[in-house]
């Protein structure tokens, strides 16, 4: 089963900041067409890599403080964190291979 958690200010500390290893976040909004198109791709990646990394998504309208904290100025944004610290990311839509390569790069150093 794909485990993509909805990340809010209330669960951010436990589910992202204090989580050891690699956490991948998708910042999105309900009004964002590219975000809606990215969702199935993101869920596919999460399903394939759920044993290696944790996956979550942040609705920037529901958690604006998290978007500000990470400097998210455009959605969709894809962020990789390691041991709670942001280490890589992509803004906008990209091919699946780019996201997978980015995650794998940081898993190799985990």
Model confidence over 36-93: pLDDT tens digits? Answer: 999 999 999 999 999 999 999 999 999 999 999 999 999 999 999 999 999 999 999 9
pLDDT band at 102 (very low <50, low <70, confident <90, very high): very high
Residue 25 or residue 1, greater confidence: 25
- CB of 58 closer than 8 Å to CB of 27: yes
pLDDT in the model for residue 1 = 46
pLDDT in the model for residue 24 = 96
Tell me the CATH number for domain 4-107.
Answer: 3.40.30.10
Q: Enumerate the domain spans of the chain.
A: 4-107
Give the mean model confidence (pLDDT) for residues 14-34.
94
- Which H or E element spans position 93? none
pLDDT in the model for residue 2 = 59
Catalytic residue among 7, 16, 23, 35: 35
What span, in angstroms and rounded, lies between the C-alpha atoms of 50 and 70?
A: 23
Catalytic residue among 8, 21, 32, 62: 32
For residue 85, indicate whether it is catalytic.
Answer: no
State both tokens at 62: 């529901």
Q: Is pTM, for the whole model, over 0.85?
A: yes
For residue 35, indicate whether it is catalytic.
Answer: yes
Strand order in the sheet with 77-82: 4-6, 54-59, 22-28, 77-82, 85-91
Residues 6+ apart with CB under 8 A from 24: 45, 46, 53, 54, 55, 56, 78, 79, 80, 81, 103
């Amino acid at each position: 089963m794909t485990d993509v958690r909805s990340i809010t200010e209330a669960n951010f500390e436990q589910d992202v900041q204090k989580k050891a290893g690699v956490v991948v976040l998708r910042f999105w909004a309900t009004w964002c067409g590219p975000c809606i198109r990215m969702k199935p791709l993101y869920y596919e990646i999460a399903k394939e890599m759920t044993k290696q990394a944790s996956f979550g998504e942040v609705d920037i309208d529901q958690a604006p403080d998290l978007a500000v904290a990470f400097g998210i100025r455009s959605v969709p944004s894809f962020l990789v964190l390691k041991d709670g610290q942001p280490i890589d990311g992509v803004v906008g839509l990209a091919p699946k291979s780019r996201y997978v390569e980015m995650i794998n790069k940081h898993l190799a150093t985990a």
